[in-house]
Chains A and B, each alone.
Chain A
Amino acid sequence: MERRGDGELSDADLAEVEAETRALLARWGEPQMASPPADLSARVVRRLNDPPARLGWRWQQLWLALPLCLLILGIWGLGFDSSGPAALFGDPATGAGRYVLALTLIAKPLWHLWLAGAGWWVAGLFTLIVSGWIWWRLIVDAPLAEVL
């Protein structure tokens, strides 16, 4: 029987090709469900009960907070004065105020550096994002070996 293919098959044709395929598989002893290893369920349950330890999440949060602090202190240092934030924590010459002053003084040149190259940074980032997106669309997201 010559078939046009795809979804153009009539219900009767479809039933016939289905039966043919099932008969072909049956000749090869299929379909059979592949049996998982006997202990697989137990292993899955054990893994569900012991999720990977998420130790150090607070440290991760601290690492996120540090650039934010530098960002804010840098803006303050550039816009107002360097010792202002430090004064909030006591004498800028001693104790916590001293560390805040140090952070402000670290952040300021970083901001200067960023502002000096801002145009290039933005253009570079834009190019990176666009090329990444094109690469993703063309290569990774392409249909998986569609055979026509």
Chain B
Amino acid sequence: MSDPQSDELDLVTRACAGDQSACATIVQRYTGVLYNQAYRMLGDAFEAEDAVQEVFLRVFRNLKSYDPSRRLVTWLLTIGSNYCIDRLRRRRFSWLTLEDVAFWLPSTQPGPERSALQSAQREAVQRALQRLPESYRGVTVLRYWHDLSYDEIGAILGLTEATVKTRLHRARKMLQEALAAEEELWNAEGMAS
């Protein structure tokens, strides 16, 4: 059985050499991871799809700069994270259109959760996650959804391990509070209906 690291390196080398099937394998293997990160960070399924496409374009444009000592997934998440943060920053400075306002209103479009899992609970977690400041949301998603170590999160976000721990500590508290608020809302709606 081949070592996953050498398998990744082989894929990257072949993709760098222009092997289309290696590129397709990378895309198929990591679309889910990048989509999940973008969806959790941006809070919108359509934006997440667009983000995945843009991130892969950046990935293949910079594939030669990939450091083989790192896991491929952490390198991809680094690019994904930078892209999402850029996009969130740009969002603050963009003019509001009716479409933008509609985006902030409760969505009537079926998101991945609603369509795949039909779970209102998970939508509540997603809403709670969106209440976290971006910098805290990033560490939370990488820690709990991607199960990365503090060290790997630090490498992805360009932070020290201590800063990662600090942000996670605050993020946990905020997430608890946000989920408690969601629970209250949940109970109130349950009582009303």
Could you say which interface size class chain B belongs to? 35 or more
A50 to chain B, nearest CB (A): 11
Chain A count of residues within 8 A CB distance of the other chain: 36
Q: What mask results when residues 170 to 187 of chain B are scored 1 for a CB within 8 Å of chain A, else 0? A: 101011100100000000
B-side contacts of A24, CB under 8 Å: 175-176, 179
A140 touches B49 (CB 8 A): no
Assuming the A-B contacts A24-B179, A28-B124, A40-B35, are A34 and B112 also in contact, with contact meaning beta carbons closer than 8 angstroms in the complex? yes
A-side contacts of B48, CB under 8 Å: 34, 36
A45 touches B35 (CB 8 A): no
A-side contacts of B23, CB under 8 Å: 45, 48
A32 touches B117 (CB 8 A): yes
Assuming the A-B contacts A9-B169, A17-B169, A31-B144, are A47 and B175 also in contact, with contact meaning beta carbons closer than 8 angstroms in the complex? no
A43 touches B53 (CB 8 A): yes
Out of B49, B60, B133, B166, which one reaches A6, CB within 8 Å? Answer: B166
A32 touches B20 (CB 8 A): no
B122 touches A35 (CB 8 A): no
Q: Is residue B85 within 8 Å, beta carbon to beta carbon, of the partner chain?
A: yes
B173 to chain A, nearest CB (A): 8
Assuming the A-B contacts A24-B179, A34-B39, are A146 and B27 also in contact, with contact meaning beta carbons closer than 8 angstroms in the complex? no
In Å, the complex CA distance between A35 and B145 comes to 13
Q: Is residue A79 within 8 Å, beta carbon to beta carbon, of the partner chain?
A: no
Out of B60, B116, B179, which one reaches A48, CB within 8 Å? Answer: B60
Assuming the A-B contacts A34-B36, A140-B89, are A44 and B165 also in contact, with contact meaning beta carbons closer than 8 angstroms in the complex? no
Q: What mask results when residues 72 to 106 of chain A are scored 1 for a CB within 8 Å of chain B, else 0? A: 00000000000000000000000000000000000
B89 to chain A, nearest CB (A): 7
Assuming the A-B contacts A32-B117, A33-B36, A34-B39, are A7 and B174 also in contact, with contact meaning beta carbons closer than 8 angstroms in the complex? no
A36 touches B144 (CB 8 A): no
A21 touches B172 (CB 8 A): yes
In Å, the complex CA distance between A34 and B123 comes to 11
Q: Is residue B82 within 8 Å, beta carbon to beta carbon, of the partner chain?
A: no
B28 touches A47 (CB 8 A): no
In Å, the complex CA distance between A14 and B1 comes to 36
Q: What mask results when residues 11 to 44 of chain A are scored 1 for a CB within 8 Å of chain B, else 0? A: 0001001001110110011111111110011011
List 24 interface pairs A-B (beta carbons < 8 Å), by A numbering. Answer: A20-B172, A21-B172, A24-B176, A24-B179, A25-B125, A28-B122, A28-B124, A29-B125, A30-B125, A34-B36, A34-B40, A34-B112, A35-B35, A36-B31, A36-B52, A36-B112, A44-B31, A44-B52, A45-B23, A47-B57, A48-B23, A48-B60, A145-B133, A147-B136
Q: A34-B112, A43-B49 are in contact. List 7 more A-B contacts (CB 8 A).
A: A6-B166, A29-B121, A30-B144, A35-B112, A36-B32, A48-B23, A144-B135
